[in-house]
Amino acid sequence: MNFNILAYIIYSLLTCYIILWVGRQFHRNGRTFIVSLFGQDSSLADTTNNLLLMGYYLFNIGYAIIQFSYWDQIQSIDELVSSIALKTGRLLFVLVGLHYMNMLGIYLFAKKKKLINH
């Protein structure tokens, strides 16, 4: 029996939930950092924050969709669970990597801005 369709459905629901939940958290909690970088210009900070959220959604949903093309044939429940866990783990690894790269970028940008202002 082929379990690929079931795996696709479970993976899609799981990754969409993770991507949307993490995106909302980043959008809400990251606004403070962006406002401080733009010198309390709320309008520019909100626009930038919204653009970052859209880019985040597009990149991560695109990555999740690409994972379908690398899926092997699943023949058992064990393979189903293992495959979904592996694909979801890779997605989480990408999310963590992007988060730390963004935090490094914000830190370097704020440091450069502080040097220019002094």
- Angle, CA of 25, 64 and 4, to the nearest 5°: 130
pLDDT digits (tens, 9 = 90+) for 3-17: 999 999 999 999 999
Separation of alpha carbons 30 and 56, rounded Å: 13
Cα separations in angstroms, 73 against 10, 68, 86, 111: 15, 11, 14, 49
pLDDT at 70: 87
The whole-model pTM stands at: 0.79
More confident residue, 113 or 24: 24
pLDDT digits (tens, 9 = 90+) for 59-96: 989 988 898 888 889 999 999 999 999 999 998 998 88
Residue from 60, 47, 65, 53 nearest 25 by CA: 53
